Amino acid sequence: MLSQVSCSRAKNVAPAVQDSTNPPIVLTPKNYLALGDSYTIGQSIDSQDRYPAQAASLLLARGISIPVIHYIAVTGWTTLNLQNAIAAENLSDTFDMVTLLIGVNDQYQDVDTSAYAIRFTQMLQTSITFAKGNKSHVVVISIPDYGVTPFGGGNAAISAQIDEFNAINKRITDDAGIAYLNVTTLSRAAATDKTLLASDGLHYSPKEYLLWADTLALLMYNALK
C-alpha cells in the first residue's frame, strides 16, 4: 500500500517575488520543516504541487517568503520510521514553521493505537523543539482517509480506523495547545470526485492538496506575520 514506492527527502524552492514594473519586494525569508510520509512528500505528483510547497506559494502572495522547505518524509513511513530518520539525520537546525502529518502507515500496518499515541506524543514534542520551542509555529495535520479511494475500495472499516487514529492525534495535539488542521473531511470528497486523486488511485492530486494548503497557509501566516 503506502510502502510500495519510496520517495527521497528533498528540498523545495519557492518562487521569488517578481514584478515587471516595480523593484523586487524585499522579504525576510522564513524556513519550514515538513515532517511526514507519502502525503507530505507528494507521492505521484510534482514537487511544486505538494501541500507544503503550495502553502509556501500562497504565503508569498501575503508577503512571507519561504525560500526552502526541508522535508523529512518518505512513502511508507510509520511514526517510528519518522522518529528513526530524524535521529539518523541528526538535524541541528531550528525552523520558523513545522508541520507534522503522520500515522496512516501505523494504521495500515496494524500498529497498536497505544504505541501510536506514545510515539505521536514524542514526535509532537520533537516538532516543538524544531520550532524553537514556539508552539504557535507548529501545525498538526490529520490523517486523510484512503478508505474512500479506489485503492481502499470504499472500505468503511478503514475509514473507522482512520477516525480512531485521528482521535488520538487530535487529543494529544489539543492537550499540547497546538494548531490542528483537519483534512480528513476534505479527503473524503475523493469518493465522488476523482479529480482529487493522483494517477495511482491512492494518493492525492494537486487540486486536493491546494484545499489543504489554503487553510495551512492561513495558519502559517497568522503564526509568522
Mean pLDDT by 10 residues, the chain (225 residues): 41 47 70 98 98 97 95 98 97 96 98 98 98 98 98 98 98 98 98 98 98 98 96
Q: Letter for the amino acid at 59?
A: L
- The reported pLDDT for the residue numbered 28 is 78
Cβ atoms 84, 123 nearer than 8 A: no
- For the record, the C-alpha cell of 36 comes out as 511526514
- The reported pLDDT for the residue numbered 222 is 96
Say how far apart CA 125 and CA 175 lie, in whole Å: 12
SS (H, E, C) 18-31: CCCCCCCCCCCEEE
Cβ atoms 113, 89 nearer than 8 A: no
Cβ atoms 109, 77 nearer than 8 A: no
Residue 184 CA to its chain's centroid (Å): 12
Which residues contact residue 73 at a Cβ distance below 8 angstroms, ignoring those fewer than 6 apart? 7, 9, 34, 35, 36, 37, 38, 40, 41, 82
- Cα within 13 Å of Cα(33), Cβ side: 21
- For the record, the C-alpha cell of 208 comes out as 486536493
Cβ atoms 86, 53 nearer than 8 A: no
Say how far apart CA 147 and CA 161 lie, in whole Å: 9
Domain 11-17+25-224 top-level CATH class: alpha beta
- The reported pLDDT for the residue numbered 95 is 98
Domain ranges of the chain: 11-17+25-224
Cβ atoms 214, 208 nearer than 8 A: no
- The reported pLDDT for the residue numbered 4 is 37
